[in-house]
Amino acid sequence: MTTSSPPLLEVLIPTLNEAEHIAEAVANARALGPVLVLDSFSTDGTQELARSAGATVVEHYFVDYASQKNWGLEHGRLTAPWVFILDADERITPALRDEVLAKIGKGPEVGYYVNRLLIFMGQTVRHGGLYPAWNLRLFKRGSARYELRAVHEHVVCDGPTAFLSAGMLHIRRESMTRYLEKHIRYADLESDEWVKRRLGESSGAPTASLFRSHLRYRQWLRRHVWPRLPLRPLWRFFWMYFLRLGFLDGRAGWHLARLMASYEYMITLLYKEKMGRLESRMKKPEAYPKSSNDEARILESNPNDE
C-alpha cells in the first residue's frame, strides 16, 4: 500500500460572511494545495459551503485582521512548510499556480510577493495607482508574521524574498451595499491606527521591514506623510483619476476614484471624532480630590459631615 506524501503548501483563507465567494475560492485554491478556511463565526453559511467544497474550517473570534491571520498561522492546524494567504474574493491564475509550485523550496527565498489585478464593475483596472499591487502572500511557515496593525496589514518576513512574475485576480463583485459596509469598517480601523500613531502607540512594523526598493518609500509616505496632508479626499481623487490615469479605466476608474476619495473623507471624520472625544475626556475635572490636603479643604467647607 502506498501513502501520499505530505503537502508542500497549504492555502489559508480568512472569511466572514463570504457565502457568495467561498465555494469558488476553495475550488480554485485546491489546485495549489489543501485549503484551511479561518472563519470569524459567519452567519450566512460560509462554513458549510467551505466544507462542502473540500476545505477544513476553523473558527476564531475576530479582533482585527492582523491578529486573526497570526492566530491562524499559529493555531490553525497548518502542517505544510509553505503557506499562501488568499482572500475569498481572490483567484489564483493557472500561471501563478505553476510558478508557485515550481519555485517554492528551490532557492534561498522564504517569501514571495504576488501581484494582484483588480476586477471592478466587471472591468480590469490597470491604472489609478491600483496596479501593480504587490503583496507578500506566499511564505515559509514560521518565517513570517503579520505586523500588529488593525487593517491594511503587511507581512514581516525573516529572510530573503522575491517577486513572482505571474499574478492573481481580485474580483470585486459584491453589491455596492456590501462594498460600502466593508469600507466603513476599514475606515473605522484605519482611523484607530491614526489615533495610535498620534498618541505614540502604533505597533505597526517599520516600513523598511515590509518592502524593498521603491515600495518601502511609498509605504512610508502613506503612513507618515499622507495623514498630515490637508484636503486628502480631493488629493486622492486627483492622484488616482488624473495623475495615475484612472480615466483610462472608463466607468470603473471614475467610480473607484470617487469611492476612494469618500473613503479618505470617512477616515478623516472618524479620526477627528475620536481625537475630539479623547481631548474632551482629558479636559474633564477630576471627580475626586487628588490629595489629602484637597480632602481636608472639602471637609472644612462641609461642617455637617462628621
Question: How far, rounded to the nearest angstrom, does the alpha carbon of residue 226 sit from its chain's CA centroid?
Answer: 18
Nearest to 109 by CA among 154, 145, 168, 157: 157
Alpha helices in the chain (DSSP H): 22-29, 46-52, 65-75, 94-103, 176-198, 214-220, 232-238, 250-283, 292-300
Distance, in Å, from the CA atom of 231 to the CA atom of 237, rounded to the nearest integer, reads 10
Per-residue pLDDT of 175-202, as tens digits, reads 999 999 999 999 999 999 999 989 988 7
Domain segments of the chain as ranges: 176-281
155 near 70, Cβ under 8 Å?
no
Question: Where is average pLDDT lowest: 20-24, 47-51, 282-286?
Answer: 282-286
Q: How much is the pLDDT for 219?
A: 73
Q: What integer pLDDT is reported at residue 33 of this predicted model?
A: 97
pTM, two decimals, is 0.86
The Cα–Cα gap between 116 and 141 comes to: 22
Residue pLDDT, tens place only, 54-106: 999 999 999 999 999 999 999 999 999 999 999 999 999 999 999 999 999 99
Task: Summarize the confidence of residues 288-295 as an average pLDDT.
Answer: 48
For residue 47, is pLDDT > 50? yes
pLDDT at residue 295, rounded to an integer: 44
pLDDT of residue 210: 64
**Is the predicted pLDDT of residue 130 greater than 80, yes or no?**
yes
CA distances to 5, 108, 154, 174 from 157, in Å: 27, 13, 10, 32
Q: Sorting pLDDT into bands at 50, 70 and 90, what band is 211?
A: low
**What confidence tier does 3 reach under pLDDT thresholds 50, 70, 90?**
low
Among the listed residues 106, 119, 138, the one whose alpha carbon sits nearest the alpha carbon of residue 32: 138
Query: According to the model, what pLDDT value does residue 62 have?
Result: 96
The cell numbers describing 302, all together, are 462641609
Q: Show the CA angle centred on residue 43, arms to residues 42 and 46, nearest 5°.
A: 55
Per-residue pLDDT tens for 255-272? 999 999 999 999 999 999
CB distance 57 to 39 below 8 Å: yes
Whole-angstrom distance, CA of residue 10 vs CA of residue 33: 5
pLDDT value at 303 more than 70:
no
pLDDT tens digits, one per residue of 159-168: 999 999 999 9
- Per-residue pLDDT tens over the stretch 221-242: 777 888 888 999 999 999 999 9
pLDDT above 90 for 293: no
Residue with cell 523550496: 105
User: Helix or strand or coil: residue 169?
Assistant: strand
- Cell triple for 2: 502506498
Q: What pLDDT shows up at residue 286?
A: 56
pLDDT confidence tier of residue 294, bands split at 50, 70 and 90: very low
Give the whole-angstrom CA distance, residue 34 versus residue 8.
Answer: 9
Task: Kindly report the average pLDDT of the chain as a whole number.
Answer: 90
CA dihedral 284, 287, 293, 295 (to 10 degrees): 160
Tell me what pLDDT residue 202 has: 79
